[in-house]
Amino acid sequence: MVKHVKGTRLSTVYGPLPSWYLGSYLGIDPMMPPRRCYFNCIYCPYDEGEHRGRAINAEVIREDLIRHIKDLNVKFVLIDGIGEPSFNEELADIVEAIERVKAEMGLRLSIALRSCAPHLLLKRLGSALRLVDLVIVKVDAVTDHVVSLINDPPSLDYIRGQVDTLKAIKEHAKLAIKTMLLRTHEVPLNTDPIELRKLLELLVNVSPDLVILDTPLWSAQVNALDRGLLEEIGDILADHLGWDRVRVRGVHEEVEEVIWNAEGIEDRLINILLRVPLSREAIRRIGGDIALETFNRLLLRSIVKEIGNGYFVLKN
Ligand code: SF4
């Protein structure tokens, strides 16, 4: 795996990166590549998982975090990376280790965690859920048929108790639901009027602290929604939840720039592109000209590949 980048230190910690719904963050990958995920999304930017790779233990993450966090002005650490965090059996220990680093270093950081398997997440975190400031759960569709088409999970059983699971998370942590809206030329997927109505009903019923409406700009497999349509859907939700609890891709833009220093910029870029698809424009915006020049060298060495619409990830 990642044979093209011999000599690069792959780290469990990547970033910092800006986010249009979180603010600046440092990513933490508790699984490491290759992708091992509960879902197999139609728009996934990573090659299909091979059901191997290694789950990372809390001590490795603690050491990587201490090494990276110095002098960084980020608001969040986001447990995310490539794959499903709750597949790591030490997830509770990892959250506790991050909390200890915060205390030892006097950091005012929030902990966010992204998951597409909230039923597993609840079991895995136990009481450590209280230490997570924001749990971001992916919900793209509601009916069995459309969930299968978009997310292709191994079992649809979890959908039956999904609302209760989401509400249970909300009792202990702030909850965000992130929804990727999309369609193809032939199939409306979650923009089908009936599916969309059911999805909005679920969002209003769960009433999370935040709804994040996104669309997969990088995908060559599906069509992203334009800003106008996303905003219309955001409007409908905001009528029920208020605009302060709704974020919409393209409407809420990144406000913070993250400028990297030149030191270790190639390793930084490689570790990010392993987990986050980026466009040239984004690379320049968050890393300056030096990041773009570094990226162009990676492209010439065939270390990165375009996945669609001018977005790039690391080759594996
Ligand atoms: S949840 Fe994310 S990592 Fe998992 S398959 Fe979907 S897009 Fe890929």
Which residue from 46, 47, 84, 215 has its CB within 8 A of the most atoms of ligand 1, so it is best to mutate?
A: 46
Atom of ligand 1 nearest to the CA of 35: 3
The average pLDDT across 104-114 equals 95
Q: How many domains does the chain have?
A: 1
Mean pLDDT of 144-162: 94
Return the residue whose CA atom lies nearest to atom 8 of ligand 1: 44
Residue 164: pLDDT above 90?
Answer: yes
CATH number for position 253: 3.20.20.70
The predicted pLDDT at position 5 comes to: 62
Cα 308 to averaged position of ligand 1 atoms, centre (Å):
16
Provide the angle, in degrees to the nearest 10, between the axes of the packed helices 58-69 and 91-105: 30
The model's confidence at residue 72, banded by pLDDT at 50, 70 and 90, is confident
On the question of pLDDT at 3 being above 50, the answer is no
| Ligand 1 centroid from CA 87, angstroms | 13
Count other C-beta atoms under 10 Å from residue 244's C-beta: 9
pLDDT at residue 51 in the model: 55
pLDDT tens digits along 4-57? 466 677 899 999 999 999 999 999 999 988 888 999 999 999 887 665 556 799
Average pLDDT, the chain: 92
Minimal-distance CA residue to ligand 1 atom 6 = 41
First to last CA, the chain: 6
Asked if the model's pLDDT at residue 116 lies above 60, the reply is: yes
- Taking residues 109-123, what's their average pLDDT? 95
CA 172/CA 131 separation, integer angstroms: 9
pLDDT over 60 (residue 58) = yes
pLDDT of residue 20: 93
Instruction: Give the pocket of ligand 1 (CB within 6 Å).
Output: 35, 37, 39-41, 44, 46, 83, 116, 138
pLDDT at 52: 57
The predicted structure's pLDDT at residue 21:
94
Residue whose CA lies nearest to ligand 1 atom number 3: 83
Mutate to test the pocket of ligand 1, among 116, 121, 219, 274 (most ligand atoms within 8 A of CB): 116
Which amino acid makes up residue 118?
P
At 232-263, the pLDDT tens digits run 999 999 999 999 999 999 999 877 778 888 88
Q: Which pLDDT score, from 0 to 100, does residue 173 have?
A: 96
Percent share of the chain, pLDDT over 70: 95
pLDDT-above-90 percentage for the chain: 84
* Residue nearest atom 5 of ligand 1, based on CA coordinates: 40
> What atom in ligand 1 is closest to the CA of residue 43?
7
| pLDDT value, residue 156 | 93
Which structural domain range is residue 46 located in? 3-314
- pLDDT of 258 reads 81
Check residues 214 and 46 and name the one with the higher pLDDT: 214
